[in-house]
Amino acid sequence: MESYDQIDVELRRKKQIRYICIGFILAILLTIIALVLIILFFTISRPSITIDGIITFGPTMLNQTFNRTDMPMTFSASFTVRNPNLGPFKFSGTNTIVMYNDRVIGQSYGPPRSVNSRHSESMNMTVVVPADQLPRVYLPPDTIFVSNLIIFKVFMEAEGRVRILAIVSRRVTATMNYMVNW
């Protein structure tokens, strides 16, 4: 017959083994739950920039020539930065470039901003293209109606950081390309 001490030691060992197994199972479950939360909620996606409209002011077609001698062209763009992440998107500023034939003819910088989580922020940007940078286009005298004669490319970029719960932080860049027919 076994003594009470031996039975007590065996019961204690069984309880310890049971507690260790339960601890391992809980640790595995918590790890799986944490991985699911990280995959579902803490992934950082790229913010997007959409153009709401561009208004151009400047020279017009006069005497079948695109007159560029005395008047600069102004592009006034209204755009929206949309942040789909759970954390705010803080960017150091926007950079807007106007190109013609893959040559930069105008550039403008915007102020630093922040877009809250899962929100959109509307902004305006103005780019002034100097008169000497504008292309010169000649049309034959019998041309009556012209459309899509000159195509400008507008490139906009906002580089910043998305931080979620001060745990996950990543640098992201939101970009947008747009073509303006003149």
Over range 80-98, report the average pLDDT: 92
Which segment, 31-40, 77-86, 145-154, is predicted with the most confidence on average?
A: 77-86
- DSSP states along 96-137: EEEEETTEEEEEEE---EEE-TT-EEEEEEEEEEPGGGSPP-
**Tokens in use for 108?**
């403008």
Of 16 and 42, more confident:
16
Number of helices (H) and strands (E), helices first, in the chain?
Answer: 1, 10
Q: With bands split at pLDDT 50, 70 and 90, how would you rate the model's confidence at 64? A: very low
Token representation of residue 73: 């062209």
pLDDT digits (tens, 9 = 90+) for 35-45: 888 788 778 88
